[in-house]
Amino acid sequence: MRKNNIKFTCLVIVALSVSAVELGCEREQKSAPKKQQKKKEEKNKYSETKMLMGTVVQMDVCLDQAGMSEIKSAYEDAWKRLKDVSERMSLSGSLSDITKLNHSAREAVSVEEDTYYVLKRSIDFSRSTKGAFDVTVWPLMNLWRKSERNNVVPEKLLIRRVQFAVGFENIQLLGNHRVRLLNQWSKMDLGAIAKGYAVDEAARVFRQHGIERFFIDAGGDVYAGGRNCSGETWQIGIRDPQDGSKIIDIVKVEHQAIATSGDYEQYYEIQGQKWSHIINPVTGYPQKGVISASVIAPTALEADALATTLCVLGGVSGTEHIDALTDEPRASLIITKLPSGDIKRYESAGYKEYKHTE
C-alpha cells in the first residue's frame, strides 16, 4: 500500500487564509489589501503540528481569544485527547479496543465509551448506506493487501470466501459498553471514521477552554471552529485529485467539518494496476471511478465516514445520498474518472452555498 503523508504533497484540503496563492497556485494575483489581511491573520494565529494517527495534524488557534497559558493548556489537552482516541481505535497496540475485539474469538469485550460510541455510529452509517460503509471490511482489506504483496489479483471465489466474514450485522453492542463480534473471522478497521471522531473531540476540548475560533486539519479531515483569525469565514482548498499542486475549489465553512477521501494517496498496486484502498463491501472489490469525494457536515466524524461512503456509492448515488440528508446542512463534491480518462464533477444541491466564487 502506498502512503504519502507529507503535508503539502498529499493533503487533500488545507486552510486558506485568503486565496489559492498559499498553495502556490497561480489562480489569483495577491492584491495589497489581501496581503495586509493575510498579515493580520498570521499575526493573530498560533499553530502547532504533530505526527499522529499516521498523518500530519495541524491545529491553529486565534490568539485574541485567551491568554497564552490558557491556549497552551488547551493544546496540551487537545493533543492528549487525539492521542487517547487514536490509541483506543487503532489497529495495533495494547491500548486498542479494536485489537482486543479483533482477537476476541466471539467473547464479549469491554471497550471505552469512545469506542462504543464510534461503533454505534458506524453501524448507523452501515444501515443508512445499505452496507456501502462497513467497519468490518478488514478481512477484504487484508486480502487485497496480501494480493499486492503477491502481485496477483485475487480470484472471485477467494473474495466470496473472505466476504463471508464481512458484515456490520456481526457487531453486537451489549450493555455496559461491551461489544461482541459474532463471527470469529470478522475483524474491524475504524480507518474511515476514527480520525473524524478524534478531530471532533479536539474541537470539543478547545471549546471547553473557551476557544471558539480554531482550525484542525488531520490529514484531510478538517474542522473549522468559528471564523478565521482575521474575522472571515475559513476558506479551504480542495486539491485537484489529478494534480496535487492545484486546487479545484475553495469552500467556505464556519463551525463545520469537511473531509476528503480519494484513491490517489493510498492504493494497492497489482501488476501495474492501481486499486483503491476503499473497498465496496458488497462486491468485495475496491471501488472504481471516484478519484475524490469531499463532504461538508456538522461533525468531522460524519464528514469522514460519508467521504469514504461516497467513494463506494459513486457520483450519482453518492450525491443522491447527500441530497436526501435534509435534517442539517451538508454538501458534497464527487469527482469521477471514466475509463476513457474523462473527468466528471457531481455537486450536491447545497454545495453552491459553500463554494467560494469571486
Single out the residue of 143, 197, 203, 220 in contact with ligand ADP (rule: CB under 6 A).
220
Nearer to ligand ADP, 44 or 266 (CB): 266
Given Mg ion, ligand ADP, none, residue 284, with its beta carbon under 5 to 8 Å by kind, binds none
Given ligand ADP, Mg ion, none, residue 191, with its beta carbon under 5 to 8 Å by kind, binds ligand ADP
| Contact status: 135 vs ligand ADP (CB under 6 A) | yes
Min. distance of Cβ 199 from ligand ADP in angstroms? 11
What gap in Å lies between CA 54 and CA 10, rounded to an integer? 13
Min. distance of Cβ 307 from ligand ADP in angstroms? 6
Contact stretch for Mg ion (CB under 5 A) within 80-88, 89-97, 201-209, 300-308: 300-308
Given ligand ADP, Mg ion, none, residue 297, with its beta carbon under 5 to 8 Å by kind, binds none
How many separate helices (H) and strands (E) can be counted in the chain?
9, 16
User: What string marks each residue from 260 to 279 as x (binds ligand ADP by CB under 6 A) or -?
Assistant: -x---xx----------xxx
Beta bridge partners of 346: 334
**Sole residue written with cell 473472505:** 162
C-beta separation of 97 from 88 below 8 A: yes
Exposed e or buried b per residue across 301-329, where buried means at least 16 C-beta atoms within 10 angstroms of its C-beta: bbbbbbbbbbbbbbbebbbebbeebeeee
Exposed e or buried b per residue across 169-205, where buried means at least 16 C-beta atoms within 10 angstroms of its C-beta: ebbeeeeebebebebeebbbbbbbbbbbbbbbbbbeb
Half-sphere exposure of 108 (CA within 13 A, CB side): 10
Cα angle: 293, vertex 294, 299; to 5 degrees = 135
| Contact status: 312 vs ligand ADP (CB under 6 A) | yes
**What are 13's three cell numbers?**
484540503
Contact stretch for Mg ion (CB under 5 A) within 116-124, 166-174, 244-252, 308-316: 308-316
Nearer to ligand ADP, 134 or 201 (CB): 134
Single out the residue of 171, 192, 257, 300 in contact with ligand ADP (rule: CB under 6 A).
192
What gap in Å lies between CA 161 and CA 292, rounded to an integer? 30
| Contact status: 304 vs Mg ion (CB under 5 A) | yes
| Contact status: 192 vs Mg ion (CB under 5 A) | yes
Min. distance of Cβ 71 from ligand ADP in angstroms? 28
Of residues 137-166, those binding ligand ADP (CB under 6 A): 137, 141
**What are 331's three cell numbers?**
454538501
Nearer to Mg ion, 23 or 192 (CB): 192
Single out the residue of 114, 134, 200, 217 in contact with ligand ADP (rule: CB under 6 A).
134
**Pairing state of beta strands 343-347 and 331-337?**
antiparallel
What gap in Å lies between CA 267 and CA 288, rounded to an integer? 11
Contact stretch for Mg ion (CB under 5 A) within 40-48, 89-97, 127-135, 192-200: 192-200
What gap in Å lies between CA 172 and CA 60, rounded to an integer? 39
Summarize as ranges the residues that interact with ligand ADP (CB under 6 A): 133-135, 137, 141, 189, 191-192, 195, 220, 261, 265-266, 277-279, 281, 304, 307-308, 312
Summarize as ranges the residues that interact with Mg ion (CB under 5 A): 192, 304, 307-308
